[in-house]
Structure 1
Amino acid sequence: MSAILSADDLNDFISPGVACIKPIETIPAPQQDATTSSSEPEVILDGQQPQPRAPAQISLTDCLACSGCVTSAEAVLVSLQSHAEVLSVLDAAPALELVYDKQSGSVGVRGLENPDSKLLIASVSPQTRASLAAAASLGHHAGKRVTDQQAGWMIEHLFRGERGLRQGGKFKNGFTWIVDTNAAREACLLLGADEVLDQQGSAATNTGKVIAPVLTASCPGWVCYAEKTHPHVLPHLSRVKSPQALTGTLLKTTLSRILGIPPSRIWHLAIMPCFDKKLEASREELTDAVWGNNSTAMDFTTGGIGKSKGKGARDVDCVITSKEILMLAASRDLDFFDMPRSAPPSEQPAFPDPIIHRFLFPSSSRHRKQPRDAGTSGGNLFFILHTIQSRHPGSQIQTTRGRNADVVEFSVVQPSSGEILFRAARYYGFRNIQNLVRKLKPAKASRMPGGKPFGSARRPTLGVAGSRSATGLDYGYVEVMACPGGCTNGGGQIKVDDQVIVDREIFGEKPGPQEQKAWLAEVDEAYFSADEPDNGASGLCDDSEKDLVAGISPSRVRDTLAHWSKITGIQLDKLVYTSYREVVSDVGKRQMTDTERVVQLAGKIGGGW
């Protein structure tokens, strides 16, 4: 487990669990005497040492089955998914290599005879690049700000370049591809807008229709909190996968089908701003058990490899955070901030499918701009508002500040008539989220004959205090994120009081909340530093892309998704949507007697004694 991960570092948790509900599994002693009764007490002679029991092993999946912990506090139990796990995989065996046949255009894989060899791929979030860019700007090149793009090149040098991880280790392994999650994010934004507008009629086909207001579900801390404490909001959660999850599914399905290797031979590392992303990667809903044929029964024969076993191969095998990037580099005696800030000399190898390659590695002429109005959490709400605005010419987007900076209401209004076409909101931070879920709580039926329901559902609107619409129109969408300020302030990001920042003495010896606020402004500036492409291109897309909405071409994304489904032979619903479930635990709850249970049931039906 990473040494940097502790409860003291986590700023987005609600309450720690008082107990772990996972039972300690004990294995019967070998060759036990059949004549000995298992109910007999164990006798230990004076001075004799009792047989020690093996320590309980608690995995991330076990944490997800427990409601004792709520959000990032669960990550303290992580035994894998750290920079040490990355090193372990790098040193386990020689990495699989792609072999391109220029004459036939086919792609093969070298090294399948070693069952421990894997094809190594990494995906990087823009918030991670922003955090590392801001930290690099404080180094010996102070005065020349490091951009988002330059930070991406530094990461690529670390994972692919000759001056990076390839310098050390037993096999000098490096990663084949470094993918930007912004590519999958474009698909997530489009699918999320379709879900809200219900254009396709296919959203969440396998999991049931989403109920308005639709709530963002790309923040795993918020999803865990909802599943464990407020199951009444689950029907409102968007079924669209997060960019991390969708990237993993895209990579593993496409490569496993085209290369003819099982998904377990493809090792996908995600570099994220949040510890809770480790929890997301461990969800059983995000494995090949969902999109594979006959659950986990994917029939691969290449290299003599059998079918996937157990609960399925994860779409994302490991997640590390921005902080852990620095630890990973240090473990190979490298200084991340010494990595070159220019493009690597060799381009990334061609992805086996050209259409998917253009989607994952867009040209510089189709530079993805980060609009400042979209915020630092991916722009889900921003894209939906602009999608609706594009369908109502002349409409305007109005903004109303809530009780604090992390609660904002948005309205798409037709100025000529004053009609409110759509209302939405942004709720960041758990304090605001708790207010939101209370407003979503369904009304309780009255026990009195003819009595009216009481509770939150009787409120005419979900609007921000003091800005209630005269029409009583509820929100159509709410962007929900656990961290105050959004994803650039994730728990795995570099903080102002981290040693790497303190050593530079930019914010003083003992930085406090105000210094952290100033530091977060630096990270946000780095996040938006991609506003101007280095090549001076003024456009955001190719000339063929004329149907832009907030810088994204819906037709291009839809065509790519349709092509993905076709080449993999998997229904698009299985690829892009996920599901959620209520998690129930008896931790800290007193068990009711039969008499108490009967009394409770009698009270619910209006009787009683």
Structure 2
Amino acid sequence: MAFSGALTLTDLNDFITPAQACIKPVEQTNKPEPGAAATEIRIDSGGSYYEVSKESSTPSTQKLQAAEISLNDCLACSGCITSAESVLITLQSHAEVLSVLSSNPPSSSPSYRVPVLSISPQSLASLSASLPTPTPLQTVLDRVAAFAASLGFVHVFDTTFARELALREHVAEFSERKARGGDGDLPMLASACPGWVCYAEKTHGEMLPFIARTKSPQQIMGTLVKEWLGEKWGKRPDQIYHVTVMPCYDKKLEASRSDFYNEQYSTRDVDCVITTGELDLLMREKGFDLCLPVATSSPSSPLPYLLTHSGSSSGSYLSTILTHISETSSVPLTLTSHAPRADLEELTLSTPDGAPIFRGARCYGFRNLQNVVRRVGRSAGVQVGRGAAGRLVPRKREGKGERYDYVEVMACPGGCVNGGGQLKPPRDAEGLTRDWAADGVRTDKAWTREVEKAYWDTHGIPTPPASPKLGTSLDEVAVRVLGELCKPRAEAVRWDERMDDEAEERRRRFFRTQYRVVESEVVGLGVKW
């Protein structure tokens, strides 16, 4: 697995490799006993470490085991920012998936776990773009489902319905913050990108109050599979093995957060995350050709599938907020956009007399993210750059028309279709085969455009059985899921309707999360950005 480029002051990139700051200091509690032989550590030409006795007449040499960084170590450290692909993750790989499936007992056994696979639309788009001929996402999903079934998966879903629920909750949270209107409520910053959340928790604690509490589509999918569908299947959460396919390595970190661990059943909402590239590798290892047609039938999924949300291929969060404000406004609004630089777009809603009532932005990549963080800090009266020490300070706010109300934030340049776990282009701009990983290059813009094009070609021709569209049918499904999850109030509850206290608590548990500042444990090492 290739490491990402390092972040330096002279060559700012979007991903970071482990560095000296990733080394966790170890306190020595046992002192050498009197008369104990002195030893030293030597390193051979291959990079292996050896402990060599210095005082013995017959020196002994012992090879030392390499230290491993677990996922919990990474989450508890503040030495790096993102780039989960640089961390040794032993339980988040396609090999682990095969191991679990091969050891899964027969379905008649009490210890059998129902294997479920959920795949993101961005991953489907990356797989589609890699095929010799344009292939609609519906066809790619059918072929992935056929391959997953050959491995032992019983159910295969895409995550677009989970995204629909995330967008509805996102709008509800924005409305709550808008109504409160206090310090730390606005601007609201998107929360679906774990690389951005990890970055904020480790280096910009002052930004945490602004980040939306709404869960990402991946984690809401985990709730749907283990809580809602599991109940319909007559299975407990720990009797389901849920795997997701995501465009980003940082999704592995997100699934491993303690907030998404069910202590009652000792299981996670998402048991394992593999990237698009890992799924492609798994298919090639098993000799499965994604180009070959498979026998398909109309899906009998209890969830709507391949829903499209206009706006961006990174979740359409800003677009959904804009639509909500426009539809609930008492006067017609005008939308204007401005793109000061690549991967940064500013959008403004104005009244007929030209007064701006909402200002939002799409911000992709750390190059733009750094500037947006500073701008948010200035407008909100927050002292930026203090890491965990960041706090609200008395400072005159900028005018309302000069500050953002909402920002769709993604760590990857180009957004989620260009995630670090996506497939790399097979050839460069000159048509030559290239080893992108060895060259340290993530992708090129032309390839990203191909994936973006595939993302929006959801169904293609001929049109498959229609998925529920935005409107009555989808509203009914979403409201039913909300009402059934938020028992004991069983009757249908509108998404913007106030529930009783117990149902409201369940809703927040299923659809929202929390963040925390990660204090640095590094001693004697200055980490500067």
Structures share a fold, TM > 0.5?
yes
Shift of 1:258: 5.0
Pair 1:409-2:324 in alignment: no
Letter of the 1:198 partner, please give it. Answer: E
Does the CA-based 8 Å contact 2:313-2:417 persist in structure 1? yes
Q: 1:256 to 1:38 in 2, by over 3 A?
A: farther
Match among 460, 482, 499 for residue 411 of structure 2 = 482
Q: 1:22-171 to 2 correspondence within 5 Å?
A: 22=24, 39-40=33-34, 42-43=36-37, 45-49=56-60, 54-72=65-83, 75-94=86-105, 97=107, 110-112=108-110, 115=111, 117-136=112-131, 138=132, 142=133, 145-160=134-149, 164-165=150-151
Mapped partners of 1:444, 1:326: distance in 2:
44
Question: 2:44 corresponds to which residue?
Answer: none
Does the CA-based 8 Å contact 2:137-2:458 persist in structure 1? yes
Letter of the 2:68 partner, please give it. Answer: Q
Match among 164, 170, 183 for residue 161 of structure 2 = 183
Deviates more, 1:248-257 or 1:124-133: 248-257
Letter of the 1:6 partner, please give it. Answer: F
Deviates more, 1:270-279 or 1:558-567: 558-567
Instruction: Summarize deviations over 1:427-478 as a string: whole Å, max 9, x none.
Output: 1110110011112336589xxxxxxx999954615xxxxxxxxx54532211
Instruction: Summarize deviations over 1:103-142 as a string: whole Å, max 9, x none.
Output: xxxxxxx321xx4x32100100000000000101x2xxx4
SS where residue 403 of structure 1 aligns? strand
Mapped partners of 1:539, 1:15: distance in 2:
42
TM-score for both structures, normalised by structure 2: 0.80
Shift of 1:201: 8.2
Pair 1:217-2:191 in alignment: yes
Mapped partners of 1:422, 1:281: distance in 2:
33
Does the CA-based 8 Å contact 2:351-2:357 persist in structure 1? yes
What is the RMSD of the two structures over their aligned residues, measured on CA atoms? 3.7
SS where residue 308 of structure 2 aligns? coil
Q: 1:242-257 to 2 correspondence within 5 Å?
A: 242-257=216-231
Pair 1:434-2:386 in alignment: no
Match among 264, 270, 274 for residue 320 of structure 1 = 274
Shift of 1:7: 3.2
Match among 13, 16, 19 for residue 15 of structure 2 = 13
SS where residue 530 of structure 1 aligns? coil
Mapped partners of 2:459, 2:192: distance in 1:
24
Shift of 1:88: 1.0
Instruction: Summarize deviations over 1:187-237 as a string: whole Å, max 9, x none.
Output: 1001101111118989xxxxx996210100110100100000000000001
Shift of 1:184: 0.6
Identity of aligned residues (%): 37
Q: 1:583 to 1:404 in 2, by over 3 A?
A: same
Shift of 1:574: 0.9
Mapped partners of 1:52, 1:539: distance in 2:
59
Question: 1:578 corresponds to which residue?
Answer: 513
Q: 1:538 to 1:83 in 2, by over 3 A?
A: closer
Letter of the 2:341 partner, please give it. Answer: N
Question: 1:369 corresponds to which residue?
Answer: 308
Q: 1:125 to 1:542 in 2, by over 3 A?
A: closer
Question: 1:566 corresponds to which residue?
Answer: 487
Letter of the 1:589 partner, please give it. Answer: G
Question: 1:344 corresponds to which residue?
Answer: 296
Q: 1:477-556 to 2 correspondence within 5 Å?
A: 477-496=406-425, 501-502=426-427, 507-510=431-434, 516-530=444-458, 534-535=462-463, 541=469, 544-545=472-473, 553=475, 556=477
Mapped partners of 1:454, 1:201: distance in 2:
20
Does the CA-based 8 Å contact 1:72-1:221 persist in structure 2? yes
Does the CA-based 8 Å contact 1:154-1:336 persist in structure 2? no
Shift of 1:397: 4.4
SS where residue 130 of structure 1 aligns? helix
Mapped partners of 1:41, 1:250: distance in 2:
62
Does the CA-based 8 Å contact 1:369-1:540 persist in structure 2? no
Q: 1:24 to 1:84 in 2, by over 3 A?
A: farther
Match among 268, 273, 284 for residue 247 of structure 2 = 273
SS where residue 340 of structure 2 aligns? coil
- Superposed structure 1 runs of 4+ greater than 6 Å apart: 24-28, 199-202, 453-456, 511-515, 536-539, 567-570
Q: 1:82 to 1:563 in 2, by over 3 A?
A: same
Q: 1:227 to 1:544 in 2, by over 3 A?
A: closer
Does the CA-based 8 Å contact 1:273-1:487 persist in structure 2? yes
Question: 1:391 corresponds to which residue?
Answer: 328
Unaligned runs of 5+ in 1: 29-36, 98-109, 166-173, 203-207, 289-295, 299-307, 351-356, 446-452, 462-470, 546-551, 592-609
Match among 222, 228, 244 for residue 202 of structure 2 = 228
Letter of the 2:307 partner, please give it. Answer: R
Pair 1:460-2:398 in alignment: yes
Question: 1:423 corresponds to which residue?
Answer: 359
Shift of 1:369: 2.9
Aligned length: 477
TM-score for both structures, normalised by structure 1: 0.70
Q: 1:535 to 1:472 in 2, by over 3 A?
A: closer
Question: 2:48 corresponds to which residue?
Answer: none
